[in-house]
């Protein structure tokens, strides 16, 4: 039995640069891995998949990205996934789990990794990178030690719905602005995102951003101190804050 680390990713900024004929969106973004980590226990002599998930919402079986990742590698193994990264928070939890298996097997090309999802090529590389195209162009950047505070919401945002809202808003004449072009579409899909942002910005008096398509929010530094976890009672319910640091893997 071996243990693999699967770090979460934070999208520090995100620009939508175009839309392909197949409906996929071209992006330009900076992604970072942080020390919020799922772990996978892998037994090469077995063949099973078990997910240890306190939330009870992580998919099992063939709908979990671990299964297609093993198929892509042409391998069978027993895998226990211990979930820490929240689902629907824009932190790439499922992609991180799949990428951990790809790294374990020696890695695959970004184009092959992309079959599993747009975040998987970056999660396979980790660290800090410029990510372009539909996720397949990953250019490593010099590592920068950064402290971040993640604000985990008690709800998720569906990524596909977020991009559909983006397209609808563009047809209505809206133009994206700010460092994350998906902030306003995410708020249309899940209005509590906008409520949480407004409340946190007023409370902290600093820039609070949406991580990717949300629902996780983040801020540079540790405005609440270095305590690893705190709970804020907000207008949208309890927000759990997690102090994290960028990692190389």
DSSP annotation of 63 reads G
Portion of the chain with pLDDT greater than 70, in percent: 96
Residue 74 pLDDT > 90: yes
Q: Model confidence at 89, in pLDDT bands (50, 70, 90)? A: confident
- Mean pLDDT within 52-81: 84
Q: Model confidence at 152, in pLDDT bands (50, 70, 90)? A: very high
**Spatial distance between the Cα atoms of 175 and 172, rounded to a whole number of angstroms:** 9
Average pLDDT, whole number, for the chain? 92
Query: Thinking of the domain 2-140, which architecture would CATH place it in?
Result: 2-Layer Sandwich (3.30)
Res 245: pLDDT: 94
Res 240: pLDDT: 93
Of 9, 83, 97, 209, which one is the catalytic site residue? 9
For the question of residue 9 being annotated catalytic, the response is yes
- Mean pLDDT within 123-149: 95
Res 87: pLDDT: 83
**Spatial distance between the Cα atoms of 9 and 122, rounded to a whole number of angstroms:** 9
The verdict on whether omega for the bond into residue 34 sits within 30 degrees of 0, i.e. cis, is: no
State both tokens at 52. 């240890």
For the question of residue 83 being annotated catalytic, the response is no
When mean pLDDT is compared across 100-114, 194-208, 215-229, the lowest value belongs to 215-229
Query: Taking the chain, what is the end-to-end CA distance rounded to the nearest angstrom?
Result: 21
State both tokens at 22. 């197949």
Res 57: pLDDT: 66
Res 59: pLDDT: 64
Tens of pLDDT, residues 187-207: 999 999 999 999 999 988 778
Domain ranges of the chain: 2-140, 147-247
Fold designation for 147-247:
Alpha-Beta Plaits (3.30.70)
Of 52, 119, 167, 209, which one is the catalytic site residue? 119
């Amino acid at each position: 039995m071996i243990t693999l680390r699967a770090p979460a990713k934070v999208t520090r900024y995100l620009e939508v640069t175009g839309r392909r004929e197949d409906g996929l969106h071209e992006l330009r973004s900076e992604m970072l891995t942080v020390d919020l980590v799922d772990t996978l226990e892998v037994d090469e002599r077995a063949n099973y998949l078990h997910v240890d998930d306190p939330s009870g919402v992580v998919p099992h079986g063939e709908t979990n990205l671990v299964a297609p990742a093993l198929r892509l590698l042409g391998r069978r193994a027993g895998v226990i996934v211990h979930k820490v990264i929240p689902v629907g928070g824009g932190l790439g939890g499922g992609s991180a789990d799949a990428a951990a298996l790809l790294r374990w097997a020696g890695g695959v090309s970004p184009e092959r990794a992309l079959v599993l999802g747009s975040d998987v090529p970056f999660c396979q590389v980790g660290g800090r990178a410029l990510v372009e195209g539909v996720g397949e162009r990953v250019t490593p950047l010099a590592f920068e030690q950064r402290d971040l505070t993640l604000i985990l919401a008690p709800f998720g945002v569906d990524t596909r719905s977020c991009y559909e809202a983006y397209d609808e808003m563009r047809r209505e004449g809206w133009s994206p602005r700010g460092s994350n072009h998906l902030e306003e579409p995410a708020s249309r899909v899940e209005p509590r995102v906008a409520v949480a942002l407004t409340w946190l910005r007023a409370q902290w008096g600093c820039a609070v951003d949406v991580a990717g398509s949300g629902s996780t929010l983040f801020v540079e530094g540790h405005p609440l101190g270095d305590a690893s976890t705190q709970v804020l009672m907000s207008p949208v319910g309890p927000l759990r804050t997690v102090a994290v640091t960028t990692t190389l893997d």
